[in-house]
Amino acid sequence: MAKAEDIRAKSDDELSGRLLDLKKEQFNLRFQQASGQLENTAEFRRMRREIAQIKTLIHQRRHAAANAAQA
């Protein structure tokens, strides 16, 4: 799992790219689980949490930019 400081240091484009990669990886994990090939089920939790961290940071940045534009 990526540390919060590492995630905050990335640009919006990098975060969007990482989010897309995580979603693809999450899909692959679901596919492996359905076919009975998944060995490490803890990956689901790690993946979900990292996706949530990235989405939260993107939302915070957009909210801050919108507030800055209004001021």
**pLDDT tier, 64 (very low <50, low <70, confident <90, very high otherwise):** very high
Let me know how long the chain is: 71
Assign 35 to helix, strand or coil: coil
Contacts 24+ apart (CB under 8 A), 16-23: 16/58, 18/54, 19/51, 19/54, 19/55, 19/58, 22/47, 22/50, 22/51, 22/54, 23/51
Whole-angstrom CA distances from 40 to 10, 28, 33, 57 are 28, 13, 10, 27
Q: Is the pLDDT of residue 5 over 90?
A: no
pTM (two decimals): 0.86
1, pLDDT greater than 70: no
CATH pick for 10-70 out of 1.10.1760, 2.30.29, 1.10.3470, 1.10.287: 1.10.287
